[in-house]
């Protein structure tokens, strides 16, 4: 009866969808089934925190992901907050129960060989559009900049004499990114084609065919389309190229602090996730190459 009252409250007073209410109901029913299997005399009003913890452990032993366990625990917390307000219980057994930490997924990246194939031997189209698309892919991969930083680039931000690009990152923080001779030559070639294409002037460093500044959506579309030519990754976004830049730098012995500065990260902890990525690659190489792996 308590469960039914709670679900009715979610549906009629909180305006939750029927699907959401059904999920809450299933989670609470699963907990009830568990504590009844432990002791038939138990009900929602007399379970304790230890029983909730043992249920959480049981879920994890049964192979539930951290996100699923935390969702079920969240449903139970909401249920007991409701029971407290109604005076049905005097204490919340979920109060001091801590759910499992969610594992952060490793960044998705494109391998160096695939990026070389994309930039050096893949047909990306002809004319202004083809040159621009290649330049954008190369810029992402060779500088690690964010999509917002790339879109916001102006001609004045590129210093060919000092070989640096000034980008404006999160919270309007600016940083300088160095570039090499190959990128310098390719940028000059792109600017020559771009200026010839839009003789009346361009709004930004990277522009659409009408001379207007590139939009985030347009960049996403061209990156996804062109990455599809060399990889079958589910994620094929500009951020994947940023991940690819960081991973390639670390794989080629760049210091973690240097990569942090190039990416514009606030904390070294954010950059450290790429060390896990490179270690995963080392594990794969070991497993494939060692006869007793």
Active site residues: 146, 170, 239, 242, 265, 274
Backbone phi, psi, residue 109, to 5°: -145, 160
CA dist 176 to 143, 162, 169, 286, Å? Answer: 10, 10, 11, 37
Question: Do the beta carbons of residue 66 and residue 99 sit within 8 Å?
Answer: yes
CA dist 258 to 177, 207, 229, Å? Answer: 11, 30, 31
Backbone phi, psi, residue 165, to 5°: -120, 130
The H-assigned helical ranges of 104-174 are: 112-121, 127-143, 147-151
From first CA to last CA, the distance across the chain in angstroms is: 56
Which residue reads 């139970």 in tokens?
Answer: 76
Which residue reads 């522009």 in tokens?
Answer: 207
Question: Do the beta carbons of residue 133 and residue 190 sit within 8 Å?
Answer: no
Counting Cα atoms < 13 Å in the Cβ hemisphere of 163 gives 10
């Amino acid at each position: 009866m308590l469960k039914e009252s709670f679900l009715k409250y979610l549906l009629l007073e909180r305006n939750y969808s029927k699907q959401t209410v059904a999920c809450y109901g299933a989670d609470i029913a699963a907990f009830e089934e568990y504590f009844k299997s432990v002791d038939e005399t138990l009900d929602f009003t007399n379970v304790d925190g230890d029983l909730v913890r043992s249920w959480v452990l049981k879920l994890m032993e049964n192979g539930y992901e951290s996100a699923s366990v935390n969702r079920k625990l969240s449903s139970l917390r909401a249920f007991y907050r409701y029971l407290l307000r109604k005076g049905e219980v005097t204490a919340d057994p979920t109060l001091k129960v801590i759910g499992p930490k969610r594992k952060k997924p490793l960044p998705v990246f494109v391998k160096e060989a695939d990026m070389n194939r994309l930039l050096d031997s893949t047909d990306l189209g002809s004319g202004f559009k083809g040159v621009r698309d290649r330049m954008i892919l190369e810029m992402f991969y060779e500088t690690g900049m964010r999509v917002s930083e790339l879109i916001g680039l102006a001609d004045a931000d590129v210093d060919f004499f000092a070989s640096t690009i000034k980008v404006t990152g999160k919270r309007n923080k600016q940083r300088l990114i160095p570039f090499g001779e190959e990128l310098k030559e390719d940028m000059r070639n792109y600017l020559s084609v771009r200026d010839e294409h839009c003789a009346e002037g361009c709004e930004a460093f990277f522009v659409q065919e009408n001379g207007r500044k590139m939009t985030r959506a347009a960049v996403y579309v061209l990156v996804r389309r062109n990455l599809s030519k060399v990889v079958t990754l589910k994620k094929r976004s500009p951020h994947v190229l940023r991940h690819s830049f960081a991973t390639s730098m670390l794989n080629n012995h760049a210091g973690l602090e240097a990569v942090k500065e190039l990416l514009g990260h606030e904390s070294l902890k954010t950059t450290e996730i790429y060390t896990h990525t490179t270690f995963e690659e080392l594990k794969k190489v070991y497993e494939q190459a060692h006869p007793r792996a």
